[in-house]
Structure 1
């Protein structure tokens, strides 16, 4: 856990509103290899890209001794008196846990009142890393508000510790780093909690073609990933042969897809995506469902040449690759089949923060 350096990070911007945003992501390949104990023993590898959907956090100081948390996207809010460490067992747990960290580390004066408002462009359980992006956006907003000296690796690791250790939410490590760094990244997860983010310098024409080929489709199911992830972890601990073999294949897919992307071979990228989806379904039951299978089949029958679920599975978003000329046809067919499909734009920036005068 990060700690405050003496004399650092204790000045607060009192006359402004701080705003931050962190991008959501699409998991292209390697998902699941960032889970312990797999990454601790074998090393994990992930290829992902951030998209034009965001988690937002806004902080406005107030002088009435109240801390007010508002989650505008889920219509929840709560208020607390200043001067206390907050219970993180209920309520808006992300807001409380991030607030507690900055108070307990000496970065934030507990007597300062504030309103902390958040919103996310995609619902919980979307498979787009929305909860981790929210954690990163909150951490960045408090970092800016408190003038705390944290770099991008620090920020991602802090969000990971809050989400996975403090709040005991199941999941891996990729989402926090994707939201912090942004862009197209090949991320390595190594023993002893080491993470290396490798930004890929992909030719702009290749990124344009990839973006023009992408369709994302919401299944309409907000999946609970914890059960799937816990099953995957249990099989890792048991050294289940099928699960380990599938994870090895998924890791290799991330390595191969990185090469395909760097060389502009999108046809090979699609083939890897398809093989990776087959491997992913072997890591745990419930990764695919009847709803997912129906939409996946509809997509493949309507011109898509590749596809897979984004995230742990069980619901959320499916991503497809299609010839750009056939994209509108694919979107229309997926919507007819009960999905909610549309294009998506890639982004090159990670978490950002700025201020506005009150």
Structure 2
């Protein structure tokens, strides 16, 4: 059994410049940090004594015979991406509700990819984890999402993340003295409003016209 713990994130500056449609032309950068709230994923091989081959527990409980039957898009496509057909039991828990604006969907993708690699005895780098999670969300799932959430979830901590026009992502950890870090924490407040929304759906309303936002993003 493998258990992955992937942090959620809050973003301070630079949101919008992490969309490929922007940074591949202009470059981009964000300042973001992960927080002490997490997405937990438990993965284990399922013994061949059950009437199903896959059991996926999230807001739904799925029991399936094939990968194609799995409803959760990130689970289904990550299994396809890794070419996994062995029976699995996957269980998700989170410290915060989904669709609350703290990068939970990308944390899930990072967490399931990390856990499934580990289940196969492979430990990949943080950069590879970020890059492959971005690929799955943007290219496979075709979601209108940026690239900062997957990167923050993969690396953790307070970072300046730079997106180059050639597609490269550079992570610069920002080290604060304990006193400064405590001072920052003492001046931050995070509220749960109860409002749920899907970031990809909201992004579809402005990303196609992101070039018109150059005054705000530059």
**5+ residue gaps in structure 1?**
1-16, 249-358
Cα 1:87/1:32, change in 2 over 3 Å: farther
Which has the larger Rg?
1
Which residue matches 1:54? 38
CA deviation profile, 1:245-278 (whole Å, cap 9, x unmatched):
0011xxxxxxxxxxxxxxxxxxxxxxxxxxxxxx
Paired positions, count: 215
Contact 1:24 1:51 in 2 (8 A): yes
How far did residue 41 of structure 1 move? 1.1
Structure 1 runs of 4+ with >4 Å offset: none
How far did residue 226 of structure 1 move? 3.0
Indicate whether 1:69 and 2:56 are aligned: yes
**5+ residue gaps in structure 2?**
none
- Any idea what SS the aligned residue of 2:204 has? helix
CA deviation profile, 1:84-134 (whole Å, cap 9, x unmatched):
54257xx1111111111111xxxx4x2x32201112222222110000001
TM-score (norm 2): 0.92
**1:239-318 correspondence to structure 2 within 5 Å:** 239-240=211-212, 243-248=213-218
Contact 1:36 1:233 in 2 (8 A): no
2:78 to 90, 98, 103: 98
TM-score (norm 1): 0.57
2:9 to 25, 44, 53: 25
- Any idea what SS the aligned residue of 1:170 has? coil
Aligned equivalents of 2:135, 2:185: Cα separation in 1: 32
How far did residue 164 of structure 1 move? 1.7
Aligned equivalents of 1:25, 1:148: Cα separation in 2: 25
